[in-house]
Amino acid sequence: MKKIFLTLVLLISMGLANTAQAFSFDWGITGGYNMTKLKLDGDLDRLVKSDNKSGWFVGAKANVGLIMGFGLDGALLYSQQKMYFQEKGDDFCKNDTRRSIEVPINLKYSVGLGSVATVYLATGPQFDFNIGGKRTNFMDWEEDYEDFSTFKRETMTTSWNVGVGAKLLGHLDLGLVYNFGLSKLGEAIYENTTGQQWKNDDTKMNTFKVQLTYYF
C-alpha cells in the first residue's frame, strides 16, 4: 500500500512539473501596416463609397503559452486608420484619420516545425478606444455645405480578429490578420443641398493587417 501511495505521489509530481514547464511567457514590441475600408449600408451605400486606405500601428505585445499547443496573446496598440469617403458620380471626397488605442486578445493554436519556426492560427476579440475627434465632415464641399455631411464616431467599438502567422527562431513573429467590425463605428449622415437626408447608424469598419513582433 505504501509503495502504491509513493508511486502515485511521484506520478502526480512529475505531471505537475511537466505542466509547469509547458507554460511560457514572452513579451515584446510590435507594429505594422493596416488597410481599412468602411462598410456602409442602405441608401448611403448607393450615394457614398469608401475605398481601401493605408495606415499603421505600434505597441507592446505579450504571449502566454499554455498546453497542447494552445496559448493566449494580447497587445496594447496605438493605431492610425485612414478612412476615405467619396460621393458616387462626383469629385467630392474626404480623407480622414481615426486614432485609437486597440486591445486585441487572441486564442492561439501553434504547431512547431523543429527549432527554427512555429506556425499558428489565432482568433479573438478586439476592443478599440477612440482618442481622436468624435466628429468629422466627410465631404470637401464649400464651407457653406460642410455641416451637411457628418460622421460621428463611437467612443468604444468591438471587433473580431482572425489570423495566421509564424514565429521564427523564437523571437521574430510575422502575422497576417483580418479584423471585422462587430459593433458600429459611428453614425454617418448625408444631406444634399436640397435638404434631402440619408442616414446610416450602423457603419462598420473592416481591416487587413500585416504585423511584425519582436519578442525579447
Q: Residue ranges of the domains in the chain?
A: 23-215
Angle ∠(69,73,77) on CA atoms, nearest 5: 160
Q: What average pLDDT does range 66-72 have in this prediction?
A: 91
> Which pLDDT tens digit goes with each residue over 174-195?
999 999 999 888 777 766 666 6
Task: Give me the residue label for grid cell 460621428.
Answer: 152
Mean per-residue pLDDT, 91-97: 67
Is the pLDDT score of 108 beyond 80? yes
Residue 157 has pLDDT above 70, yes or no: yes
Cα separation of 184 and 195, whole Å?
Answer: 26
pLDDT(79) > 90:
yes
Cα(4)–Cα(111) distance, integer angstroms: 37
Cα–Cα distance list, 159 to 15, 48, 127, 168, 197 (Å): 38, 23, 7, 28, 29
pLDDT at 144 over 50: no
| Confidence grade of residue 118 (pLDDT, cut at 50, 70, 90) | very high
Q: What is the pLDDT of residues 2-37, one digit of tens each?
A: 665 566 455 445 544 554 556 889 999 999 999 988
- The pTM of the full predicted model, rounded to 2 decimals, is 0.77
Highest mean pLDDT among 86-90, 97-101, 202-206 belongs to 97-101
State the pLDDT at residue 215.
Answer: 95
- The one-letter amino acid code at 5 reads F
Residue 151 has pLDDT above 50, yes or no: yes
Instruction: Name the more confident of 71 and 195.
Output: 71
The rounded distance, in Å, linking the Cα atoms of 87 and 47 is 6
Per-residue DSSP letters for the chain? -HHHHHHHHHHHHHHHHHHHHH-EEEEEEEEEEEEEEEE--HHHHHHEE---EEEEEEEEEEEEE-STTEEEEEEEEEEEEEEEEEETTSS-EEEEEEEEEEEEEEEEEEEEETTTEEEEEEEEEEEEEE-S-SEEE-S---GGGGGGEEEEE-SEEEEEEEEEEEEETTTEEEEEEEEEESS--EEEEEE-TTS-EEEEEEEEEEEEEEEEEEE-
Which class in CATH covers the domain with range 23-215?
A: mainly beta
pLDDT of residue 12: 46
Of the pLDDT bands very low, low, confident and very high (cuts 50, 70, 90), residue 59 is very high
